[in-house]
Structure 1
Amino acid sequence: MYITNLIIQSGFWITWLLIPIIYELIPAIIGFFSLQVAKQHFKHLKPISKYPYITLIVPVYNSEDSLFNCIKSIETSSYPDEKIKVLIADNQSKDNSYQEYLRARNIFHKLNMQWLSTDQGKAKALNAAIYNSIGKYVIHIDSDGVLQEDALLYIVTDFENDSSIDALTGTILTRISLIKKTKNKFLKFIRENEYMEYCQSFLAGRAVESQGNRLFTMSGAFSAFRRNKLLGTDLYNIETIGEDIDMTFQIRYQLKGRALLCPLAIFYVSPLDNINKLYTQRQRWLRGELETLHLFFENRSIGISTFFKNFVVRRLVMDHTILLLRVIWTFAFVLLILLGYSSNVVITSFVLLYLLYLFILLLNFLSIQSFLKRFSSDRKYYLSKFYILLSLPIYYFACSFIQVIGIINAMTTPAAWTTKNITQEFSDCKKVIEKDWMANRYGKRKRKL
């Protein structure tokens, strides 16, 4: 009897660990060695002697607080001002964004800047600006961030060294200076986790995807294209909030092209304002992914039989099927104890799972710090936050839980750019419970009468 229970309960935690080992640990180990090879790429890049003309698009919506600094980062970049056309594509701002644009235009005289008034929606703003673009490359950045000094130069250098590259996305990191200024300790801790998450996502995850032209999505905050290739697409899809994913798929599947990561091209964005922002942001990303996959693969053959051939199928399994199982299993531990499993076995399973994810993060950490060698301040800060790796698995789980809610919301609520935040969700949930409670009490009274 004892041996039987031991086998059954051991089988539980072995099964618990099997999926993350197959889907996350093994790819992480392969990715670690893949990244070592990827780093050699930068040693063979030839510096460009002639700077091609580029168009830089900045979509704007109520960006008065950040637009000036965004334009300033373009002007102070190492790429020559006379080789840049800046298109500020405003999609119906209701604040003083235009006044900030005028202020920047009066100060940065060398920049060729133009203001475009467009229909509301980021995709519509981008499309209008693309039609007004000139030059060899089209690059777009969000208005709430700033470019690293050499980011544009790194992007163009990658393009010029490899004519087979059709599109590039940069590395997105949160601004360290704003993290350091955060007074609320809990918010600062969340922002530090977010910084490490972005490093892991771009300089490990997307860097590995990029090796086999398997980049799932170019960042909507910072992406670049050969202009002639971009004009060969259907432009940005206005029917989904996942227009960046849709564009990535267009480049790869419609044009049979290559969309890669340029890890040295860094764009710094503002960190999260609060937990509500994290909640709405992750749900919006998840909804955009689901919408785009539905729209783009509606008339294409895609199924579980193509799991080993099509990385998109594997991504779907990881982001949705495994995600649901991860959350369900985590909350099922109470039920497992009630069913007779030893609490020690369950706790041991949690500890082993945590250590497994910690090992994966450590592998990525070692690769990422070498990517940051050219950026001393970023590397110094990154290394100083080594201890954040300890909390990152928990942060990832919290994000997974939000994504599961996002899947449910995506299936039950109409598409919209704005999403209910966690405060609104709790408020709605409270109202439903109160309504059901009152209905139940009323029903009991009626039956008594």
Structure 2
Amino acid sequence: MRYFIDLTLAQMGFWITWALIPIVVEIIPSLISAMRLLRQSKHLKQLEAPAKLPFISIIVPVYNSEATLFSCLQSINDSTYPNRNMQIVLADNQSTDDSFGAYARAQNHFNLNMQLMRTAQGKAKALNGAIYQCIGTYVINIDSDGVLEKHALMNMVLQFENDIDLAALTGTILTQRSQIKRTKSRWLRFLQKTEYFEYAQAFLSGRTIESNKNELFTMSGAFSAFRKSTLVDTFMYNTDTVGEDTDMTFQVRQRLKQKVMLCANAIFYIEPLASLEQLYKQRQRWMRVSWKFLRNTCTSTPRWAISSTIFWCAA
């Protein structure tokens, strides 16, 4: 009888411990950050618009984006940032579908200053090739499979213009709620809603904490921005790693000793997960990117940042 009591207590201790880990590592920091956000939102400093808005360059890496590229470019066109003040460079890295057709349709529909260039395969190579074509004060990267919230570009530029020490910004990534509502499968819709709140927690909580301490681990590959003057001082995007966004973040923050922040009100919407298999492959890729980068370069990274990054690195 004593054996079964000890075994029961041991099992209870094991499961209680594992129940406490997410509470301590994720839930409590999230609640603290949420309270900070609420307090900060009541005392937000109004950002001043410059007398003349700067010219910006937007890089859109394209790879088999026939189905999404038109919507992405439409979101840029519908932005509150004036079209005359932006240059759009589409970097097609060896697409095999009709991405060019989507680009051609956008040319006929939108009054945008766009150019399409062919690059070597790989997102990092596409970004590096496009950077040399950019003439804007700020260089903004967005993925071709998502859409910008209409105020996102303006909010990002205003944050740069009001902080001369700011070198780079990452936007907030959220899934498209309208697509979640249209999902017919209850199980998949539940999974997509969970994913939405996960992204909200990761960016509006986790990365807010990192940003306030100037310890942001990685900028989002889907939506990030740089001062052009900072970007040309880096070694450009690392083409030998799948974690090029994390590598670039550390180049700016550690090698150049410059400030990298989150722009919480610059939102980029991506498509929600389509299946459990896609979720598995996504998280497997994120884990591989995180561990590989941490093993190679991040011996001095704070432990709390490492634990957070394991889940949110590639978001």
* Shared fold per TM-score greater than 0.5: yes
1:114-168: CA deviation from partner (whole Å, max 9, x where unpaired): 0010000000000000111111100010000110000000000000011111110
Structure 1 CA distance for aligned equivalents of residues 278 and 17 of structure 2: 35
Asked if the contact 2:217–2:309 (Cα under 8 Å) also holds between the matched residues in 1, the reply is no
Asked if the contact 2:167–2:260 (Cα under 8 Å) also holds between the matched residues in 1, the reply is yes
Matched with 2:68 is: 66
Secondary structure of 1:72's aligned partner: helix
Cα offset for 1:74? 0.5
Matched with 1:82 is: 84
TM-score (norm 2): 0.90
Asked if the contact 2:176–2:270 (Cα under 8 Å) also holds between the matched residues in 1, the reply is yes
Secondary structure of 1:44's aligned partner: coil
Q: Which amino acid aligns with 1:55?
A: S
Cα offset for 1:75? 0.7
Cα offset for 1:13? 6.1
Runs of 5+ consecutive residues of structure 1 not aligned to the other structure = 303-309, 321-398, 404-449
Matched with 1:242 is: 243
Secondary structure of 2:57's aligned partner: strand
Q: Which has the higher mean CA deviation after the structures are superposed, 14-23 or 257-266?
A: 14-23
- Pairing of 1:160-199 with structure 2 (within 5 A): 160-199=161-200
Q: Which amino acid aligns with 2:213?
A: G
Q: What is the RMSD of the two structures over their aligned residues, measured on CA atoms?
A: 2.6
- Pairing of 1:220-235 with structure 2 (within 5 A): 220-235=221-236
Cα offset for 1:34? 3.3
Cα offset for 1:277? 1.1
Cα offset for 1:11? 5.6
1:314 aligns with 2:304: yes
Structure 1 CA distance for aligned equivalents of residues 210 and 169 of structure 2: 13
Query: Following TM superposition, where does structure 1 have runs of at least 4 consecutive aligned residues deviating by more than 6 angstroms?
Result: none
1:154 aligns with 2:155: yes
Asked if the contact 1:34–1:208 (Cα under 8 Å) also holds between the matched residues in 2, the reply is no
Structure 1 CA distance for aligned equivalents of residues 308 and 264 of structure 2: 24
Matched with 2:201 is: 200
Q: Which amino acid aligns with 2:275?
A: N
Equivalent residues, number: 310
Query: Structure 1's 26 and 275: CA in aligned 2 closer, same or farther, altered over 3 A?
Result: closer
Asked if the contact 1:35–1:208 (Cα under 8 Å) also holds between the matched residues in 2, the reply is no
Structure 1 CA distance for aligned equivalents of residues 13 and 66 of structure 2: 57
1:354-388: CA deviation from partner (whole Å, max 9, x where unpaired): xxxxxxxxxxxxxxxxxxxxxxxxxxxxxxxxxxx
Secondary structure of 1:65's aligned partner: coil
Structure 2 CA distance for aligned equivalents of residues 195 and 266 of structure 1: 13
Structure 1 CA distance for aligned equivalents of residues 307 and 271 of structure 2: 31
Matched with 2:129 is: 128
Q: Which has the higher mean CA deviation after the structures are superposed, 264-273 or 47-56?
A: 47-56
1:176-235: CA deviation from partner (whole Å, max 9, x where unpaired): 121111122221221111111111111111112111112111110000000100111111
Structure 2 CA distance for aligned equivalents of residues 95 and 216 of structure 1: 34
Secondary structure of 2:104's aligned partner: helix
Secondary structure of 1:166's aligned partner: strand
Query: Structure 1's 20 and 201: CA in aligned 2 closer, same or farther, altered over 3 A?
Result: closer
Task: From 83, 93, 97, give the equivalent of 1:91.
Answer: 93
Structure 1 CA distance for aligned equivalents of residues 64 and 25 of structure 2: 41
Larger C-alpha radius of gyration, 1 or 2?
1
Cα offset for 1:25? 5.0
Percent of pairs identical after alignment?
A: 51
